[in-house]
Amino acid sequence: MVPFAAAFVCPSIPVPDSAATTILVVEDEPTVCELAAETLLDAGYRVLTASDAKQAEAILASESVDMLFTDIDLARNTNGLALARRARMLCPDLPVVYTSGGRDGLSDRETVPGSVFVPKPYRPSQLVALTRDALSAALPHHA
């Protein structure tokens, strides 16, 4: 894999309703991050974004997050697989959806239990459907 030359920041998109279900989007490609965030925002979710696992971990430590949507290979040599494992230590029932443009799938031993994988490119409608499915499969406080 080619190492990333630079990390990009995808700023969180403000949402007026802070009581809405919160999705953390972790993606180091700014255009892809913006598309995912806008798609979820349009679907009625509160969206927070991070460009690498370190930023995501800071958000997870300070915000209430209802689902993690993460790219696998991230900037600054961070990794969405490791991020999901650490996120589950903070919130054992956190729904996780992984994505990647360089993989066709993931083995069960690589992922956290109950997680879902969607390959890039994905359609916005696919992302919304996966988000709804992941949240509805989670414990009641994530619904």
What residue numbers bound the domain in which 53 lies?
22-137
Domain-embedded: residue 31: yes
Residue 29: inside a domain, yes or no? yes
Q: Is 56 exposed, middle or buried (0-12, 13-18, 19+ CB in 10 A)?
A: buried
3-state secondary structure at position 54: helix
> Considering the entire predicted model, what is its pTM?
0.84
The helix-helix angle for 53-62 and 80-90 (nearest 10°) equals 10
Report yes or no on 65 lying in a domain.
yes
Q: Are 2 and 45 in contact (CB under 8 A)?
A: no
pLDDT values of the chain reduced to their tens digit, one per residue, 143 residues: 222 233 334 544 444 454 589 999 999 999 999 999 999 999 999 999 999 999 999 999 999 999 999 999 998 888 999 999 999 999 999 999 999 998 888 888 999 999 999 999 999 999 999 999 999 988 554 44
Residue 5 lies in a domain: no
Residue 125, domain CATH: 3.40.50.2300
User: Is the residue at 13 inside a domain?
Assistant: no
Number of domains within the chain: 1
Query: Do the beta carbons of residue 119 and residue 104 sit within 8 Å?
Result: yes
Does some domain include residue 74? yes
Is 91 among the domain residues? Answer: yes
Residue 51 resides in a domain: yes
